[in-house]
Structure 1
């Protein structure tokens, strides 16, 4: 079943090209203003090189549905 369309902003996604998959100080200031969940993808950008964080920077498990 398809989920209904929802137009609210759930969070953000961005990369850390140096590979650190944890929120920077700038991320921690940005996250609370832009939703509940935030993805960081780190170099070398494999399908395991990402993490999800809550608006306060805590790790959050996220199920990926393909």
Structure 2
């Protein structure tokens, strides 16, 4: 298993904490599920419909 580090704004961190608390899971699990869901949406071609950029650029943590 590989380890990644994510740097994000406080508002995003609070959303992750809130989801973890709401569902009774670890913040790491929330992030893992969000990454998987995002990758699946890209595979489904929803990136264009939802406005998600394929390459967000160097500001992505």
How high is the TM-score relative to the length of structure 2?
0.25
Structure showing the higher strand proportion among its residues: 1
Structure showing the higher helix proportion among its residues: 2
